[in-house]
Structure 1
Amino acid sequence: MLTRKQLELLDFIQKRVARDGVPPSFDEMKDALDLRSKSGIHRLITALEERGFIRRLAHRARAIEIVKLPEAMEKPGFKPKVVEGDRKAPPKGAMPVSAEVMELPLMGRIAAGVPIEAISEVSHHVAVPGSMLSGRGQHYALEVKGDSMIEAGINDGDVVVIREQSTADNGDIVVALVEGHEATLKRFRRRGHMIALEAANPAYETRVLPEDHVKVQGKLVGLIRSY
């Protein structure tokens, strides 16, 4: 079953494809659904793809295949339609892009050091291998600021891939929201009714907080580094 917003977006895409022969841009989708940022559209697109209603195609800009429609939207004779964008084929000798490459919203910076204010706005999108997106659910990316996780192989300036979830096992590296307004990247440990947020750098002390002061917002599932 689709949510109201998912159904609205699928209907908007289907109508624009039927009218113009090309799918709408993320900006057009955002305006049509009256959303404040494109991150909301990205999440709706991902949800529709996971439920098998659409398929995003590699190597083509703004290319979406409508695989099926809900019963309420189905029309006689409906067939999936591939909509090609205007991206040119890669030049000869270029490395092919994997069909499993996905775009994730980069939500800004996350502190691997002293916590910084919580992050909620998308700065841009980054392409990541689909194999990095472990399990089902929403994913997003964050740029690391600081050096408190260097012994876990996470350096200042790295981009971490996070799967959204509200629980964690001991030893997981998580995005933790501290006291409702600070976000930090740390290793998670539960100690009774307390939560320890451990750095991976001896220069930083472990923070131990009451469990109701810490909210897990996601788990680290991948890392991207530029040289």
Structure 2
Amino acid sequence: MLTRKQHELICFISDRLAETGVSPSFEEMKEALDLKSKSGVHRLISALEEREFIRRLPNRARALEVLRMPERGERKSVAKAAKPAAAVAATTPATRPAPANDVVEIPLHGRIAAGTPIEALEGSAMLPVPAALLGAGEHYALEVAGDSMVEAGILDGDYALIRRTETARDGEIVVALIDDAEATLKYFRKEGVMVRLDPANRDYTPQRYRSDQIRVQGRLAGLLRRY
């Protein structure tokens, strides 16, 4: 059995997900349940998690998933009047597309050269990224340094969003690790036993390496730019 406040909270979260596809904020939950502090919301959410009514989605801001609802006769919503069953079913987490403003945090691993190769720095910072910019797979971000990819629209200071992979096809933009020491962002080309890393700037020349000198660390999945 859930307490009255636990009932009210899970109903509020479920109604908000059905309406907007986005979990309510802790402040919104506090006001909806007329609580004095957010710590009360945290306690209620922890209790619902322990009883497996909801779960928190990892690496996402404001992301809660309703796993199951209380028994039909117990449901008491503090939000607007409940939608018809068909409308609610059409927007359950299993079938609802990811909302456009959903945010994912991915590792930010320092700077990557878009010019002469520089050391690829490892870091523990996280970068919030709109989920719509990422596809399937594991991703990380690198800050672009240099101008050798400007004709591909990749500018100094941009954040390159990289999908982890160790393979690439001709013409793809990749993070290439050279001699296990330096990394660069370039177009990938195979030339027999050689690998050519092509810039996207006519002022730079292609770089050629033996295949055993190059390890692909990922493919470009998207860009973030600050103005």
TM-score computed with the length of structure 1 as normaliser = 0.59
The answer (yes or no) to whether the contact 1:112–1:146 under 8 Å persists in 2 is yes
| Paired position in structure 2 for 1:76 | none
* 1:122-177 deviations in Å (ceiling 9; x for gaps): 3x222212121123x21001110000000000000001100000000100000000
Flag the 1:226–1:208 CA change in 2: closer, same or farther, 3 A: same
Q: In structure 2, give the amino acid aligned to 1:223.
A: L
Flag the 1:207–1:57 CA change in 2: closer, same or farther, 3 A: closer
Q: RMSD across aligned C-alpha pairs, in angstroms? A: 3.0
Counterpart CA distance in 1 for 2:197 and 2:152 is 14
Q: In structure 1, give the amino acid aligned to 2:131.
A: G
Is 2:207 the partner of 1:182?
no
Counterpart CA distance in 2 for 1:209 and 1:58 is 40
| Paired position in structure 2 for 1:150 | 150
| Paired position in structure 2 for 1:161 | 161
Q: In structure 2, give the amino acid aligned to 1:188.
A: F
* Superposed counterparts of 1:53-72, under 5 Å: 55-56=57-58, 60=62
| Paired position in structure 1 for 2:46 | 21
Flag the 1:21–1:119 CA change in 2: closer, same or farther, 3 A: same
Flag the 1:183–1:211 CA change in 2: closer, same or farther, 3 A: same
Counterpart CA distance in 2 for 1:59 and 1:140 is 17
| Paired position in structure 2 for 1:129 | 130
The answer (yes or no) to whether the contact 1:58–1:98 under 8 Å persists in 2 is no
The answer (yes or no) to whether the contact 1:56–1:64 under 8 Å persists in 2 is no
Counterpart CA distance in 2 for 1:125 and 1:141 is 9
Give the secondary structure class of the aligned counterpart of 1:219: strand
Flag the 1:184–1:59 CA change in 2: closer, same or farther, 3 A: closer
Give the secondary structure class of the aligned counterpart of 1:165: coil
Is 2:164 the partner of 1:139?
no
Q: In terms of Rg, which structure is larger? A: 2
Flag the 1:57–1:190 CA change in 2: closer, same or farther, 3 A: closer
Q: In structure 2, give the amino acid aligned to 1:21.
A: S
Q: CA deviation at 1:117?
A: 1.2
Q: CA deviation at 1:101?
A: 1.7
| Paired position in structure 2 for 1:83 | none
Identity of aligned residues (%): 47
TM-score computed with the length of structure 2 as normaliser = 0.59
* Superposed counterparts of 1:81-96, under 5 Å: none
Counterpart CA distance in 2 for 1:202 and 1:147 is 11
Q: In structure 1, give the amino acid aligned to 2:195.
A: I
| Paired position in structure 1 for 2:118 | 116
Q: In structure 1, give the amino acid aligned to 2:204.
A: Y
Flag the 1:127–1:193 CA change in 2: closer, same or farther, 3 A: same
Counterpart CA distance in 1 for 2:190 and 2:176 is 13
* Superposed counterparts of 1:2-81, under 5 Å: 21=46, 55-56=57-58, 60=62
Structure 1 gap ranges (5+): 1-16, 23-52, 68-78, 81-96
Matched residue count = 152
Q: In structure 1, give the amino acid aligned to 2:154.
A: I
Q: CA deviation at 1:59?
A: 5.5
Q: CA deviation at 1:105?
A: 1.3
The answer (yes or no) to whether the contact 1:177–1:217 under 8 Å persists in 2 is yes
